[in-house]
Chain A
Amino acid sequence: MRRRLWLRIGIVVAAVLASVWYLYPPTQTINLGLDLQGGIHLVLGVDVDKALATQVERTADSLRSDLERRGIAVRSFERRGATEVVVQFVAPAQWNDAQAVVRDYGIFETREPDQAAGRLVLALSPREATTLRDLAVRQGLETIRNRVDQFGVAEPSIQQQGDNRILVQLPGVQDPERAKALIGKTALLEFKLLDPRMDVETALASAPPPGSEILYQRRVDRQTKQEQRVPYLVQKRAVVTGRDLSTARVSIDQTTSEPYVSVEFNAAGTKAFGDVTESNVGRQLAIVLDGNIHSAPVIRERIPGGRAQITGGFTLEEATDLAIVLRAGALPAPVQVLEERTVGPSLGADSIRQGMIAILASTALVFVFMMVYYRLSGIVADVALGLNLLVLLAVMAGFRATLTLPGIAGIALTIGMAVDTNILIFERIREELRSGKTVRAAIDAGFVRAFRTVIDTHVTVLVSAIILYNFGTGPVRGFALSLGVGIMASLFTAVFFTRLLFDLLYMGGRRRESLSI
């Protein structure tokens, strides 16, 4: 009996020591949620269909030029839906030659072949579509991670959620608007030649010639803040794109002291850029970012060094962010904000203060109530409650769990529920005493008989907490977690630990006549 007593004391001491060890120092071990420390929670939807369409268009373009290089004339080459291309050959006689070329493009399946009419449909194969979708989400995630890393956020969390969503959590960000712009920008940089075949007005009035499109340059007047949109007719095919960049950085113009972004191309980009500038001296080259023209300078001479400048009246901040997104690369598909929760740091601080007041006040109220109602036994329950809070926080720290504002509510609620276990036991002991049992027998019977009920009540609350945890997101999860952990901890503190204290108080050598309960 005595040895078991020492063993139980040992377990409690070990639990206390372990808790303190995990918890110390609390300001570093307790992870505060975004709603408490301020920050951004974003759920981004990746437009994977757009990624598929881009890939289909790009592959179809190179297929077409392959066909034409081998002398197979194509009358029309039309996109149908996001993933299909309808091809009409000029001469059905070239069917077999065409098939040989098409076969090299494994991402397409041939459908509805009509040899007599010289017509077929190329469809993106379902397997390829799945791979591309996955790739778009994974690359998007990597790109965003890159951008966030370069932006400099402490402990960001970027994860895939479901099939095509990306969850971004940035704690403690001071300028949420800027961070969101940085993350959400597609950042597709393209250099496109202006199309001299037609002037812009005619193209606007009728339609742009095949292979060209109209893009706009947006100019905001600094004084009036009026926005002007200047149209340009540009070739659809980009000469070089952001993929061909090796680096991008911010520089300051010596004369105007305006910041701009200077980019350097990699070997392939340098060659392409050099060739194009050489053969197009005197023409304008538009610098296009996400479909908006930034500037369209005239090519004065061949540019051999593989360098270019993007100007456009940036602020230093804008230029810095543009350099970051260009370095990190473009998103393979546009993203859209599906859910956003941003909390400013001052609100987080207020929430922490109010949460602490609530926890302290409910602890105080429950402490006093138990002490008044159950006297010495109430104090025992209060000590157990203190241990419960310690273990609860230590478990949260140990699992690197996040404490949210609803999580604080969960702790406050746990305080009310944890003593319930002691109330069940104490009421049972009182009942056993009334039925004439001795102090020791009443304690024994009370703990044993109440135990089954205690388990019942724990199971039901735990069922709710587990379902809530699986269902909930962010803050609500925090509530489920602290409630669930608190309830489990109370099994140890309110049953095991309280029993130990009772044994130490009443199971000593002397025979006890009364119980302070």
Chain B
Amino acid sequence: MIELFRAPAFNFIGRRRWAYLLSALVIALGLASIIAKGGLRYGIDFSGGTLIQVRFASAVDIARIRAALDTIKLGESVIQEFGDPREFLLRLPLVELPAEEVNRRVQEALARDPALGQPEIRRVEFVGPQVGRDLQYQALYAVLWSMVGILVYVALRFDLKGGAAAIVAIVHDVLVCLTAMSLTNREMSLPVLAALLTIIGYSVNDTIVAYDRVRENRGKGVRRGEPFAAQINAAINQTLSRTVLTALTTFFATLVLFLFGGKVLEDLAFVLAVGVVTGTYSTIYIAGALIVDWTLWWEGRTSRAKKAVARV
């Protein structure tokens, strides 16, 4: 029998302050990066605009494409190589012109430079201002509703404290994913949003497994006087191998997707992969640890209140 951990007894909860520090540092780094870069980068799904994927017959210098696009003056366009030196993504901001017109002018501009050869237009996406705005709202609602759904489920299944701690862990995971995106200059797009929502549903899984174990252990009878922190720590250790193993298989799948799934799926796979890792970390260090601190704080308050009553 291969075992990842044989009767693990790590002192996770005891070192929780270090974990808080680490999480705070990562998120602070992410916020700093997002602020320094002038906000998260939004893809055309949310910001509106035109995206054109072209493939040239042979490798092309990016400066030539930029020069060609500069001639039509459609504003600040972004040009990036897309998985192959012959293939590029051109991103144009929203302009007054209708979508067909923008597309036509870009094609004409590219055709005018003989060095660019005969480009093949492989993909055109245009998102108008109304649709972009609609999608922003819908995205926000989708994220909020997922969290509400999970809060309600965990609260019903365990207690409100557990639900709240699970939500904090989820917010932590989403923030870490956003940090990773900002550091690697990835754009917020619809597929990335899909990945974030999946992570919201997935990362709470391990948290539930750990909570469930605490309850089961209590059902068997906890040794009298065993502090709550020790109960949580024991539950996390007992479920550690399944937490890590389930994350591992899912991580394999996302890694393969990242490596072989093609450029279009790359961002989605990246966010999923980061989310799976941080989801596992947050189960151990955030969701479990927060509940301990919350309980300690609560017990402290009630015992102080009791003492106060006794003194009177």
Contacts and interface: CB of A to CB of B under 8 A. Distances in A.
Interface stretch (A108-116, A365-373, A502-510): A365-373
A372 B208 contact: no
B130 A468 contact: no
Contacts of B246: 420, 423-424
B201 A463 contact: yes
Contacts of B257: 358, 362, 409, 412-413
A45 B253 contact: no
B145 interface: yes
B252 A341 contact: no
Given A342-B124, A420-B250, A476 B190 contact: yes
- The A interface is mostly helix, strand or loop, or mixed, namely helix
B62 interface: no
Given A354-B262, A373-B2, A479-B194, A464 B200 contact: yes
Contact of B272 (A354, A413, A423, A452): A413
A357 interface: yes
B139 A405 contact: no
Interface in A486-517: 517
A319 interface: no
A156 interface: no
Nearest to B203: A460
B146 A366 contact: no
B256 A464 contact: no
A453 B146 contact: no
B194 A340 contact: no
Contact of A351 (B149, B260, B262): B262
Contacts of A452: 212
A181 B99 CA distance: 11
A339 interface: yes
Contacts of B262: 350-351, 354-355, 358, 405
Contacts of A415: 253
Interface residues of A, number: 73
Contact of A453 (B120, B139, B212, B238): B212
A68 interface: no
Nearest to A450: B242
Interface in B281-307: none
A306 interface: no
A358 B265 contact: yes
Contacts of B260: 354, 357-358, 361
Interface in A172-195: 176-177, 180-181, 184
Contacts of A62: none
B100 A337 contact: yes
Given A336-B98, A361-B260, A475-B191, A369 B128 contact: no
B125 A340 contact: yes
A344 interface: yes
A355 B104 CA distance: 31
A102 interface: no
B138 interface: yes
A340 B254 contact: no
B269 A465 contact: no
Contact of A424 (B122, B138, B194, B242): B242
Nearest to B158: A456
B237 interface: no
Interface string A155-182: 0000000000000000000001100110
B249 A341 contact: no
A480 B200 CA distance: 13
A443 to B, nearest CB: 15
B141 A465 contact: no
Interface residues of B, number: 67
Interface in A445-478: 452-453, 456-457, 459-465, 467-468, 470-473, 475-476
Nearest to B193: A476
Contact of A343 (B120, B123, B126): B123
Q: Which of A338, A431, A464, A517 has the most CB of B within 10 A?
A: A464
A460 B205 contact: yes
Contact of A461 (B2, B202, B268): B202
A372 B124 CA distance: 45
Interface string B43-61: 0000000000101000000
B127 interface: yes
B99 A351 contact: no
A419 interface: yes
B245 A427 contact: yes
A184 B99 CA distance: 11
A409 B269 contact: yes
Given A344-B122, A461-B205, A464-B198, A339 B2 contact: no
Contact of A419 (B202, B249, B268, B269): B249
B121 interface: yes
B204 interface: yes
A468 B191 CA distance: 11
A279 B201 CA distance: 76
A406 interface: yes
A41 to B, nearest CB: 9
B153 interface: yes
Contact of A406 (B121, B208, B238, B265): B265
A337 B212 contact: no
Nearest to B152: A463
A171 to B, nearest CB: 15
A144 interface: no
B146 A344 contact: no
A441 interface: no
B26 interface: no
A409 B263 CA distance: 12
A416 B249 contact: yes
A465 B197 CA distance: 8
Q: Which of A340, A412, A430, A460 has the most CB of B within 10 A?
A: A460
B95 interface: no
A431 B131 CA distance: 53
A180 B104 CA distance: 12
B201 A453 contact: no
Given A354-B260, A366-B253, A472-B194, 20 more contacts: A43-B131, A336-B98, A347-B53, A355-B265, A369-B248, A369-B249, A405-B262, A413-B198, A413-B254, A416-B251, A417-B253, A423-B249, A427-B242, A427-B245, A430-B1, A453-B209, A453-B212, A462-B201, A472-B190, A479-B198
11 contacts: A177-B104, A362-B257, A365-B252, A409-B269, A412-B261, A417-B202, A417-B253, A423-B242, A456-B208, A456-B212, A479-B191
User: What 10 pairs across the A-B complex have the smallest Cβ distances?
Assistant: A464-B201, A416-B253, A354-B262, A416-B250, A471-B142, A420-B246, A362-B256, A347-B122, A340-B126, A358-B261
